[in-house]
A and B are shown apart, each in its own frame.
Chain A
């Protein structure tokens, strides 16, 4: 976030402004589906931003972050199922539940390091998945339909798609700002210091375990918020939203966008989800002149390209999109 007109900053501002203007474009161009797609992208970007706080800045490789999406989402869904629609109850409960889960999981998982941490967060998230799938009263495996979105005071109506989009966008921008402030505070410096060398941080007198746990809980709470939004967006929650592959998707977003960069996860989320939507079309478009019908069939199997693509990003573009943009700047100066 250094000042000045670098390519990276210009592209970042352009994306932030474009997202604000998107509903206008969707309305004018008559492409309503764009609004739905981008509401989803923004919500998942919020989850990715929260993951970036622990993964990118804190070096805590959580592979169970989707659990908080599920907990936030199910808090909204269950309360709605019991007839409590007020957002003033639903959302605090969603946040609190995620925070509590993060506290327990974090307290246990942070006792370990490295690959143990990855596997443990993964296993706990799967535990949450099985618990939710076992809740017969709330739909079990089949999921739970939410008949009414969270109710707030009069002018705010989440059923209005444009209003809901702006609520999500405001929360996303707020979270990005929060994370940015947080990582540049004394607290954030301790977290980043512990990522680089935990032992040295402890040696100079910081109880890093406590700092990391607080960071873990903040990230979990933010992600719970994303879950509450997602439940309102889809009007439906199912165990699928906390399946471990969802945690994988969130990690991809963070790494694709560029770790330890405040807006990186937003770029990652936009890139990944737009790619998911676009890849089948691209395969069809490029393949049809050469392979005819076969290309149309092949476009159904877009993941077969997505997987190796991911491997290539890992191998050759470690800094993600933000890293690439920073390189462009470096070349210009040279």
Chain B
């Protein structure tokens, strides 16, 4: 039972983390109609910045804040230099162009930080476990991740639904030309939105950094999961991204934890131990296939594209 609660929390934490990535992806797609494969690179860069700044400043939180700001700047720079030229083009161009950016960023990281991974150690006040229920302890850091991502999700909601910028963002998503014609500085808005997406990806990366090793290519595996989430949730919908991210986080984490045991009940021990790892990593893709059969446009489709 303890294990089950712990795995549920892990699933929630992973799901919320995935939400940060998927939200940026879906925001950029919904507003700029841009498929950004290099989103995972920004996640990676956030993690590398955090690992570096935390050592420089000697303070984890200060390092994280600096890394967040730096990723925001990198994201806006990427938008101004490269992405801006891709708007309004074919999706295939986006895929190719941003794929080129992945190659560039992976190699750039190799040049600057070298091929070995970095690790980021937690300060002692986060590196403990907290008693959440009588007899159930849980990592304080993972709880902190859950808290931070929930705050960010709330912030995103307020930003998009309750502020003037959010109004422009939503207006831009439904009709770009019209917003431009009404005298809104679309270029600046796009740069801001892309920077916001980059910062969200960077935040996910830097929070994941102490749990995993910071390494080249770390963004690419998680990017695919973020894609699955945007597809399930419906592209362009932040609410869909949140629901789908938590769902995927749960299915993936619980699947990996309990699916092998479940399989062992049904199959012989040998067959189960060969099939389990392959099948449990298939689960979320099966989930995606089912969603597609039922609702090809995703669960919370915004009705466009």
Contact = CB atoms under 8 A, between A and B. Distances in A.
Task: State the main secondary structure of chain B at its contact with A.
Answer: helix
Interface string B212-230: 0000000010001001101
Interface string B99-115: 11111111110110000
B274 A137 contact: yes
Contact of B35 (A108, A111, A115, A307): A115
B293 A111 contact: yes
Interface string A239-281: 0000011001001100100000000000000000000000000
A61 B95 contact: yes
Contacts of B235: 115-116
A123 B288 contact: yes
Contact of B293 (A108, A123, A135): A108
B296 interface: yes
B278 interface: yes
B18 to A, nearest CB: 14
A285 interface: no
Given A120-B231, A123-B228, A315-B97, A310 B285 contact: no
Interface stretch (B7-15, B85-93, B161-169, B238-246): B85-93
B55 interface: no
A159 B63 CA distance: 57
B138 interface: no
A118 B99 CA distance: 13
B104 A252 contact: no
Contact of A310 (B29, B97, B105): B97
A311 B82 contact: yes
Contacts of A131: 278, 281-282
Nearest to B33: A115
Interface residues of A, number: 44
Interface in B17-58: 29, 35
Task: State the main secondary structure of chain A at its contact with B.
Answer: helix
A78 B279 CA distance: 19
Nearest to B92: A61
B108 A304 contact: yes
A116 B237 CA distance: 14
Contacts of A307: 100-105, 107
Given A120-B288, A310-B97, A301 B281 contact: no
Interface string B54-90: 0000000000000000000000000000100110000
Given A61-B92, A123-B224, A310 B289 contact: no
A11 interface: no
Given A115-B235, A119-B230, A123-B288, A135 B100 contact: no
Interface in A291-334: 301, 303-304, 306-311, 313-315, 318
Interface string A118-137: 11101110110011011111
A303 B103 contact: yes
A307 B105 CA distance: 8
A288 interface: no
A136 B228 CA distance: 26
Contacts of A315: 85-86, 97
B154 to A, nearest CB: 27
Contacts of B111: 301, 304
Nearest to B25: A119
Given A112-B296, A118-B35, A119-B230, A310 B288 contact: no
A30 interface: no
A307 B102 CA distance: 7
A130 B282 CA distance: 7
B277 interface: yes
Interface string A57-87: 0000101000000000000000000000000
A155 interface: no
B179 to A, nearest CB: 21
B35 A127 contact: no
Contacts of A120: 231, 288, 292
A136 B276 CA distance: 11
A67 B246 CA distance: 28
Interface in B285-299: 285, 288-289, 292-293, 296-298
Contacts of A108: 289, 292-293
A137 B105 CA distance: 36
A112 B224 CA distance: 18
Given A108-B289, A134-B279, 9 more contacts: A111-B296, A118-B95, A120-B292, A127-B282, A130-B281, A131-B281, A134-B281, A307-B102, A314-B86
5 contacts: A134-B277, A137-B274, A307-B105, A311-B96, A315-B85
**What are the 6 tightest A-B residue pairs by CB atom distance, in nearest-first order?**
A307-B104, A134-B278, A310-B100, A307-B103, A130-B281, A127-B285
